Amino acid sequence: MEVTPVGADKFAGTSIENCYQCGKCTAGCPLADQMDVTPNQLFRLVQLGEVEKAARCGAIWLCVSCFTCTGRCPQSVECVEIIDALREYAAEHDCAPPDLQRIILFQKAFLDNIRRNGRINELELIRDFKTKGFLQDLSLPLLMKDALLAPKLMQRGKFHLTSEKAKDRELVGRIFARCTGTHAEGATS
Amino acid sequence: MSRFGYYPGCALHGSSNDFEASVRACMKTLEVELGELNDWICCGATAAHSINHTLSLALPGRNLGIAERDGFTDLLAPCPMCSMELIKTKNALTESAALRKEISDIVETPVTGATEVINLIQIFQRVGLDRIQAAVKKPLESISAACYYGCLLTRPPRTVAFDDPDQPRSMETVLAALGAKSVEWNYATECCGAGMTLSREETVLNLTNKIITNAKAHGANCLVVACPMCHVNLDMKQGAVEQAHGVKHDMPVYYLSDLVGLALGLSERELAVNRHFVRAGVHAAPKTVA
């Protein structure tokens, strides 16, 4: 079957065309029981060119990238890379389901943290993520969760009010600018 | 004295600094010199590969470039997330001259992907299990461990090419050299939820509860891990797991380097075992009657 879905370039090298729906990916998936659409169904949607529909599924944000599917696929399909491509598409087109926006928010806060510091500053990451999460859905449990862990972490010397940063942070900024720039060019071509 | 490049990654310099203390103490005793990469940066982890593919190659690429520049042929990355991202990038660079050029330009350092990236288990294999066995001062006779590999030590198998992805044995082999027992169980390679700790905690609490429950049911008196995220979810979050599921686990979680160090005669304090959340003292208990 000839398949040329929207955004097909994102799936180059994933061997998506080789999926024959055996379902091993779904059988081994630790989150499949909580997904709106199972991994094998996601891959079928992509094969049929329904990229937008697949990118709107909550399943792609529940995937923890454990690579069990990739490891067990008898057709050597790069399952997680397909899900990565769908997440990338969903983040670019802002089409993740509202109840799972928080996971994208976390990943964006994570990358933003690296861009600024070169390394992850855990306290700053948690603060940014929780503040933005609270502003988004006014969830008090999210804001307060883990607060009780702070003294226990401090007691164990695992909590750093000031975290180390990479020295050449300007270089890190340039790397990010080039990657996001490269990326935008790729997407518009 | 052998010398390896060392990429700690953010976790080992953050809240998993007990892991770094353990790795460093162990390596010192085994006369392995670790050269920390000068001005290393974060590997990007799941966030980069979920949101920007180029970035997920550039961030590890920068670190591989530093290793090459500073003449390290072998690079220890004890965090399996970091090592998997580094290996994935190394493989991609090795396969494509165009990508080598693109990434070298982006990261402002020539990078070819020549560096060998190794995980924590592999460094013990490099040192030599017979050598470690000969150096054991306190055999760990009271330990019956469930060796927990999680995801990224053995997966994706085509990328990391380490051990058997479904029936790994490498940690059990290290434990045998220390005089410790390992149990057969079902959750050795099931995922703990890793990076979902902050954004979707209930997922992590469900997965970790299954892991700890299964280890216990198969007679384990502790879990052994080689991953900082597994340790956070199984040790730091164990209280939350117990609360959410109305159970009492009280299951100690050791890093593999903790057990190697303890067997070599290092103290709990030197290995930072005393800084875990669940008291990890089974190594010092009297030998259990099998």
Residue A157 CA, chain-centre distance (Å), reads: 30
When scoring B18, B36, B41 by the number of chain A Cβ atoms within 10 A, the one with the most, hence best to mutate, is B41
Does residue A126 belong to the interface with chain B, where contact is any CB pair within 8 Å?
A: yes
Query: Do A120 and B10 make contact, defined as CB atoms within 8 angstroms?
Result: yes
Q: Is B277's CB within 8 Å of A129's CB?
A: no
Pick the CATH number of B135-284 from 3.30.460.40, 3.90.1660.10, 3.40.50.11810, 1.20.120.1080: 3.40.50.11810
What is the amino acid identity at position B42? C
Residue B230 has a pLDDT of 95
Looking at CA atoms only, how far is residue B161 from chain A in angstroms? 11
| Closest CA relative to residue B186, chosen from B220, B163, B152, B157 | B220
Query: Do B54 and A182 make contact, defined as CB atoms within 8 angstroms?
Result: yes
pLDDT at res. B34: 98
Q: Tell me the pLDDT tens digit for each residue of B21-51.
A: 999 999 999 999 999 999 999 999 888 888 8
- The pLDDT tens digits for A65-88 are 999 999 999 999 999 999 999 998
Return the pLDDT at A137. Answer: 62
Mean of per-residue pLDDT scores for chain A: 83
Q: Domain B2-118: which CATH class?
A: mainly alpha
Q: Where are the domains of chain A?
A: 8-93, 98-169
**DSSP per-residue codes, A123-160:** HHHHHHHHHHHHHHH--HHHHHTTTTHHHHHHHTT---
Contact partners, residue A94, CB within 8 Å, separation at least 6: none
What is the pLDDT at residue A8? 64
A35, A65, A98, A167, B187 from A61: Cα distances, Å: 9, 10, 11, 33, 23
Average pLDDT for chain B: 94
Q: What are the boundaries of each domain within chain B?
A: 2-118, 135-284
What percent of chain B has pLDDT above 90? 87
Nearest to A30 among B102, B190, B275 (CB): B190
Give phi and psi for B196, each to the nearest 5: -80, -5
Residue A153 contacts B where some CB pair is shorter than 8 Å: yes
Structure tokens at A101: 């926006």
Distance (Å, rounded) from C-alpha A148 to C-alpha A106?
20
Interface A-B: count of C-beta contacts within 8 A: 165
Across the interface, whether the CB atoms of B155 and A66 are under 8 A apart is answered: yes
The amino acid sitting at A152 is: K
Say if B126 is an interface residue toward chain A (CB within 8 Å).
Answer: no
Contact with chain B for residue A165, Cβ under 8 A: no
Q: Between A94 and A184, whose confidence is greater?
A: A94
Contacts of B15 (CB under 8 A, 6+ apart): A122, A153, A158, A159, B232, B236
- pLDDT (tens digit per residue) in B68-114: 999 999 999 999 999 999 999 999 999 999 999 999 999 999 999 99
Predicted TM-score (pTM) of this structure: 0.90
- pLDDT at position A136 is 64
Give the largest CA-CA distance in chain A: 61
Hey, what are A13's tokens?
Answer: 């090298």
**Cβ of residue B113 closer than 8 Å to a chain A Cβ:** no
Contact A114 B44 (CB under 8 A): yes
Rg (CA), chain B: 19
Omega of the bond leading into B156 within 30 degrees of 0 (cis): yes
B22 closest CA partner among B82, B79, B63? B79
Residue B267 has pLDDT above 50, yes or no: yes
Q: Which two tokens stand for residue B43?
A: 């590997």
Give the pLDDT score at B145: 98
- Which tens digit of pLDDT belongs to each residue from A128-175? 777 776 666 656 555 556 666 777 777 777 766 667 899 999 999 999
CB contact under 8 A, A70 and B50: no
pLDDT at A183: 44
Q: What percent of chain A has pLDDT over 70?
A: 81
Model confidence pLDDT, tens digit, residues B41-80: 999 988 888 888 899 999 999 999 999 999 999 999 999 9
Q: Chain B residue with minimal CA distance to A88?
A: B51
Predicted confidence band of residue B196 (pLDDT cuts 50, 70, 90)? confident
